[in-house]
């Protein structure tokens, strides 16, 4: 259970990292400040796994399919 959650958190963090690098380069190319992008990526890579962990588990309705 913990290992799968840690893997999920690592994948989410990697996605935020890749998106932040791409967005930061494009924003800097446009001549805008880009420091907030790194902060938003760090916040998102902490909040998304924590919110996913605290979300209720899916409910089995007993319906097939």
3-58 per-position pLDDT tens digit: 888 999 999 999 999 999 999 999 999 999 888 999 999 999 999 988 887 877 66
What is the pLDDT at residue 34? 87
CA atoms of 40 and 34, how far apart (whole Å):
10
Q: Which pTM does this prediction carry?
A: 0.75
Q: Is pLDDT larger for residue 61 or for residue 23?
A: 23
Q: What are phi and psi of 64, to 5 degrees?
A: -75, 150
CB hemisphere CA count around 16 (13 angstroms): 19
Q: Examine the pLDDT at 65 and tell me if it is beyond 80.
A: no
**59 pLDDT tier (thresholds 50, 70, 90):** low
């Amino acid at each position: 259970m913990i290992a799968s959650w840690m893997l999920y958190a690592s994948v989410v963090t990697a996605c935020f990292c890749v998106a932040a690098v791409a967005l930061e380069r494009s924003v800097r190319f446009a001549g805008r400040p880009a420091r907030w992008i790194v902060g938003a990526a760090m916040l998102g890579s902490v909040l998304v796994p924590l919110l996913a962990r605290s979300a209720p588990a899916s409910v089995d309705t007993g319906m097939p399919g």
